[in-house]
A and B are shown apart, each in its own frame.
Chain A
Amino acid sequence: MDAFTTLTAIAAPLPLGNVDTDKIIPARFLKTIKRTGLGVHLFDTLRYRADGSENPDFVLNQDPYRRAQILIAFENFGCGSSREHAPWALLDFGIRAVIAPDFADIFYNNCFKNGILPVRLPRAVCEQLMADARMGNNARVTIDLARQVVLRPNGEEIGFEIDPFRKHMLLEGLDEIGQTLQHAARIDGFERERQAAQPWLPSLHA
């Protein structure tokens, strides 16, 4: 996983609430056994017309937003399924950060596993950032994870909250499994105690 430190990039406004994971990547594109290659299907139903041509009204089909690395949306972004294909599709398109008033829990979690930073900011701030993002080529927003700030194009700084553990993992681009396996001895001990205390827990081996 790539580390996330600071990002200065074009931000695309997506003024929709309840953007569900079926909207981010419809189920028919989940039949892959790879993590990559999903970017072309990101927001498929919004992005393409029935004949397969691009819908020119959709923000990511417009310049400069085709090169956007930050997405700004409204409430409950990523609701619905647990499919990690949603952050994979965003990442494959080039999105490294999503800013919204709040996120669905599983999607929020999944972002961190893929080097994508989800930033929670109040709705009024998101509306302001969307207005900034509509300035086209000048719509550059900076996100500094170490300092936990978003910088508007006018230089104004807006602070955001993030768990220290998730921040650390993202800043360092660390492999979570490797981190957890440092606790392997504790996991072994826990398993032994649990089996002794609750011997009814069955094995699923035939």
Chain B
Amino acid sequence: MGAGMQRTLFDKLWDSHVVERLPDGTCVLYIDRHLVHEVTSPQAFEGLRLAGRPVRRPEATIAVVDHNIPTSDRRRGISEPESRLQVETLEKNVAEFGVPYFPVLDPRQGIVHIVGPEQGISLPGMTIVCGDSHTSTHGALGALAFGIGTSEVEHVLATQTLLQRPAKNMLIEVSGRLPLGVTAKDMVLAIIGRIGTAGGTGHVIEYAGEAVRALDMAGRMTVCNMSIEAGARAGLIAPDETTFAYVKGRPYAPAGEAFERAVAYWRTLPADAGAHYDKRVHLDAAGIAPMVTWGTNPEAVVPITGAVPDPDAEADETARAQMRRMLDYMGLSAGQRMTEVPIDVVFIGSCTNGRIEDIRAAAAVARGRRVADGVRALVVAGSGLVKQQAEAEGLDRVLLEAGFEWREPGCSMCLGMNPDKLAPGQRCASTSNRNFEGRQGPGGRTHLVSPAMAAAAALSGRLADVREFV
């Protein structure tokens, strides 16, 4: 990118981290923050050990346990041997390589993508990576953040860099204001419904427009989190006053004069007027309704007022076959109203919707009401600090009195690596990010929704329109 050219936010983040440009355009890209968890790191640390390499910058690295840990009382340790081994392996590795770590019983422990922003470990202008595809979450701060595989985890541990080629720029502009009862989750589901699960492949998506600007940081993180479900490795929102106010005072964020210097720099990051985007998409916020998925990938989504689509109306043969397979797996039939679909389980949590604002939204719907008979409803805070905050606000009481379970923080039923999983055939209204076959447990059926919609489903015993509750 030559001097004088108008650059996007992504271009600026990229250019400021290029250590070396190789002849074919591949770059050695500097990484400011490396977040590590127990599932995708053991083989990386083992690789370092075999090659006799140290961790280059342990002070730029932070480790947590999240995927495997039970969300019941953890003081007695982890009973499942394989999960326990993975957690113990992480603890051994962080001790051996000197990597900072929030252990299971530390109140700062939680889902890696909740912990990073919460602690001020993730900041605007940074490059941030983690062996987890939902690293795109941190892009909400105006940082270039993306998921990597375990070989790349090892590469970053050893070199503090990655070999990467620049992505293309995509701008998604959401104009207007979201209607009452419609949230950031509905916005991002509507976006994925529009552009498809591969719509962002090869691109970094920058979200802009009045409706995006109006989101709080929690909402912005929800939107950026699901960029990967549209195929984009990273999502971005330009830092603004909302961002700076969020960052200020966080434990690892710069303070005093250093904070002012940082803000002055962060203000230079938004795209220059006239910067070039390879793709542009526009949505009108006023046209977005509370959304719910009906199929087994996140683009299979409709407004809650809608119905299950008819495969026979699909022209493409492969797409038709895929829709039939989805309906068969989901146990749904074409034309069925979404509000008539009964549910067995509700899951509120995950890196998509496990922040305090999400729990407040669920509790607001649940207050003074009861979970429907036969429905199991779990609320899993994204971190120990989110849980403490919710308890300080009395939200745990509201939810417990309504019949919800109030559990310890972790990834939990988003991917069922711990004991929280669906039984075959069970149907779940979930605030998580993926509705793939078997994602929440073998044979489990997932409907992705916002936290308020999930609470409404829990009270109704079926998928429900939250606007009837507000």
Contact = CB atoms under 8 A, between A and B. Distances in A.
Interface in A166-188: 176-177, 179-181, 183-184, 186-187
A190 B30 contact: yes
Given A31-B86, A200-B259, A81 B133 contact: yes
Nearest to A111: B149
Contact of A177 (B154, B201, B297): B154
Contacts of A22: 415, 434, 436-439
A198 B28 contact: no
Given A31-B68, A194-B30, A82 B133 contact: yes
Contact of B28 (A45, A76, A82, A187): A187
Nearest to A105: B233
A113 B152 contact: yes
Interface stretch (A10-18, A57-65, A132-140, A141-149): A10-18
B132 interface: yes
Contact of B20 (A18, A177, A186, A201): A186
Interface in A22-71: 22-23, 26-28, 30-35, 45, 50
A156 interface: no
**Residue from B25, B161, B417 with most neighbouring chain A CB atoms (10 Å):** B161
Contact of B150 (A84, A104, A186, A199): A84
Interface in A113-131: 113-114
Contact of A33 (B57, B85, B154, B228): B85
**Residue from B19, B40, B258, B416 with most neighbouring chain A CB atoms (10 Å):** B19
A23 B437 contact: yes
Contacts of B163: 165, 176, 179-180
B415 A27 contact: yes
Given A27-B439, A76-B197, A163-B165, A83 B158 contact: no
B249 interface: no
B28 A183 contact: yes
Given A82-B131, A177-B53, A181-B159, A109 B322 contact: no
Contacts of A198: 125, 262, 265
B322 A204 contact: no
B22 to A, nearest CB: 6
B389 interface: no
A135 B46 CA distance: 42
Interface string A73-99: 011100111111001000000000000
A165 B21 CA distance: 12
Interface stretch (B58-66, B273-281, B396-404): B58-66
A191 interface: yes
Given A183-B19, A204-B62, A205-B59, A27 B416 contact: yes
A95 B247 CA distance: 46
A75 B152 CA distance: 25
A165 B22 contact: yes
Contacts of B74: none
B6 interface: no
Contact of A187 (B159, B415, B416, B437): B159
A75 B265 CA distance: 41
Contacts of A26: 438, 442
A32 to B, nearest CB: 7
A15 B417 CA distance: 29
Nearest to B133: A82
A120 B149 CA distance: 20
A62 B135 CA distance: 39
Contacts of A87: 149
A198 B123 CA distance: 12
A16 B276 CA distance: 35
A190 B29 CA distance: 10
Nearest to A107: B149
Contacts of B42: 32-34
B424 interface: yes
Contact of B149 (A50, A106, A165, A202): A106
Given A33-B85, A106-B233, A80 B133 contact: yes
**Residue from A82, A105, A183 with most neighbouring chain B CB atoms (10 Å):** A82
B19 A204 contact: no
B197 A180 contact: no
Contacts of A184: 159
A26 to B, nearest CB: 5
B318 A15 contact: yes
A164 interface: yes
Contact of B253 (A16, A79, A110, A202): A202
Interface in B84-109: 85-86, 89, 100
A110 B43 contact: no
A28 B417 contact: yes
Given A18-B197, A163-B26, A200-B261, A45 B438 contact: yes
Interface of B: 19-20, 22, 24-26, 28, 30, 32, 39-40, 42-43, 46, 51, 53, 57-62, 67-68, 82-83, 85-86, 89, 100, 120-121, 123, 125-126, 131-133, 135, 146-152, 154-155, 158-161, 163, 165, 197-198, 201-202, 228, 231, 233, 252-254, 258-259, 261-262, 265, 297, 318-319, 322, 415-417, 424, 434, 436-439, 442-443
21 contacts: A15-B318, A27-B417, A30-B417, A31-B83, A35-B150, A45-B442, A76-B201, A82-B131, A84-B43, A84-B151, A106-B146, A106-B147, A106-B233, A163-B165, A183-B28, A184-B159, A187-B159, A190-B19, A202-B254, A203-B59, A205-B59
Interface of A: 15-18, 20, 22-23, 26-28, 30-35, 45, 50, 74-76, 79-84, 87, 102, 104-106, 109-110, 113-114, 163-165, 176-177, 179-181, 183-184, 186-187, 190-191, 194, 198-206
Given A26-B442, A204-B252, 15 more contacts: A18-B297, A22-B437, A28-B417, A45-B438, A50-B424, A82-B135, A105-B201, A177-B154, A177-B159, A180-B28, A184-B159, A186-B19, A191-B30, A200-B258, A202-B252
| Across the A-B interface, the 9 shortest Cβ-Cβ residue pairs | A113-B151, A200-B254, A33-B42, A84-B149, A82-B147, A110-B149, A31-B82, A203-B59, A84-B150
